[in-house]
Amino acid sequence: MEESSKYHVELFPYLQSWGLREFRDEASYYEWQRETLSKEELLNFQRLIEHRYGGDDGKADIEFYDELARGDLIPILYSQRFQYFLTIGTAVCRRIAPAQQVLDFGCGVGILTIFFALQHPDVEFVGIDRSSRSVEMACLEAEKRQIRNVRFEISHVPPQISGTYDLILSTHALFQAEQEPGLPSRTWKTFQRADDLQRQEQLEVLTGIQGRLDSLLWVLGSNGRMIIFEKTWNLGRRIFFQRALDARGLFPISSPVFCRYRSVDEEVVDGPLHEVARLTQGVETLGWNEKPYRAPGETLYRCIGIAADRMGRVLAMDQVSASVSGVHSSIGSWMFRFGLWKEVFAWGLCEHSSGLTGLVIGGEADRDLLHQLVETVTHITESDFQQLVHDFWGDMIHAEEDQSVPCYENHHPSAQIIYERLPSKHIQQESTFQDGEKGEMHIELGTTTHLTYLYFANIFDQRQLVLMDEERVQVLSEYYRESLQHPHGPPA
């Protein structure tokens, strides 16, 4: 069995031993909350959550964790994080060796720390947290489970930490300040950040990262490592945090790992998990990457009906590189065409005699996925064909035809490359302005070969590109007008 899955398997019943349950839908989670807590307790729970984000020197945060460190509330609060614990606990646990002395900063009630100690009985663990009740609970749990290689201490960092550790862990503890977007890019046109040391320092002070990191580094042995997992999926936060590590001579020693998990029924992308060390002899380090990460398939877009039909016609005016057809015993005849459009898009268009037209389209970054699709369709069997159509367009087939469905849409940073490559681009209207706390924002309406586009971009890496056929220009002009009247990001 692979090491990672061994931890994963053992973590599941361990989490259950804390009373945690895995929920896959919100309704059952909230029903369980209502069954378990009285009305007053629920209101108090809600009040603590809101109060916590009041933002101050940490007092509200300490009160939040102190009040929630109770046997009856832990399962309620942390069942939402069941998948988080599984994913992060597994990823951290397999990276602990060869450490001997491990510090878990911001250990909370010790759910993960105790699991790590159980899995690595020859390693000494110390968990520290500023919430005294959380630490009390962690001590009681370790005692109850008779685990001797872990101890817990109350410590509000900075400054109080003593000892020397060859591994320091921090999971969702170093960089909380969730409203803080981090460093903005130079302009809406780029993801690059200026080397603004003053702004970096201000933010480090404001978020408390400066004091926390400096205190932790004080107790990190010269050849020690840190494993850090924080909410830095947004590029502005990630670059700010990476620069704080870089400024202290810490560099990645393995590739950062992004993690996806569910929080009840919501898909969360989080991290990355950084494994860092000081630049010392014999340690191979990697550089910091300040570019946006791109998930495989991120540029892909699917549509059916009018949107697919009209976009299909535009795309087929350029290169059609393959055409595969067949007859299916129940659907009738079908044809799949594939092609490239102006070196911007790769696409596949499926038409069958039942009347379905389905389009899948992707940018340069996902061209390989579309090449694989050509291969699959060329050698497809009858039952696999039906499954493939279902996998691509099945969820759309019964929806009512909607005139405003775009011919292509991309909400990710990868939209920028596609926007930059659009051929014969002609801007019809554009506006660049300050969008409140989101900073500089740009909206642009224009035409490209046989299509109209709308593009949004701001200095905190939000991007959105929407393409429509010429017959539905009106929809985009409306969006453009609305967005200028209510400039709070692109319409959903």
Ligand X SMILES: C[S@@+](CC[C@H](N)C(=O)[O-])C[C@H]1O[C@@H](n2cnc3c(N)ncnc32)[C@H](O)[C@@H]1O
How far apart are the C-alpha atoms of 485 and 198, rounded to whole Å? 34
Closest approach of ligand X to the CB of residue 142, in Å: 15
Minimum distance from CB of 359 to ligand X (Å)?
42
Task: Provide the minimum distance between the beta carbon of 444 and ligand X in the complex, in angstroms, as a whole number.
Answer: 40
Give 212 or 472: the residue with its C-beta nearer to ligand X: 212
Nearer to ligand X, 153 or 246 (CB): 153
Nearest to 261, CA basis, from 388, 396, 171, 370: 171
Residue 131 C-beta: closest distance to ligand X, Å: 4
Closer residue to ligand X in complex, CB, 130/352: 130
CB 391, min distance to ligand X, A: 35
| Calpha distance 371→349 (Å, rounded) | 13
Q: Provide φ and ψ at 207, rounded to 5°.
A: -90, -10
Q: Which is nearer to ligand X, 63 or 290 (CB)?
A: 63
Name the DSSP letter for residue 86: H
Shortest distance, position 152 Cβ to ligand X, whole Å: 11
Compute the distance between CA of residue 254 and CA of residue 92 in angstroms, rounded to an integer.
13
The pairing of strands 165-171 and 220-229 is parallel
Instruction: State which residue, 241 or 338, has the beta carbon closest to ligand X.
Output: 241
Q: Using an 8 Å Cβ cutoff, are 29 and 264 in contact?
A: yes
Q: Which residues bind ligand X (CB under 6 A)?
A: 65, 106-108, 112, 129-131, 134, 155-157, 171-173, 212
- Cβ-closest residue to ligand X? 106
End-to-end CA separation in angstroms for the chain: 44
Residue 230 or 366 with smaller CB distance to ligand X = 230
Closest distance between ligand X and the C-beta of residue 212, in Å? 5
Tokens representing residue 163 in the block: 């000892």
DSSP 320-354: EEEEEEEEETTTEEEEEEEEEETTTEEEEEEEETT
Angle between helices 3-17 and 111-119 (to 10 degrees): 130
- The DSSP output letter for 98 is T
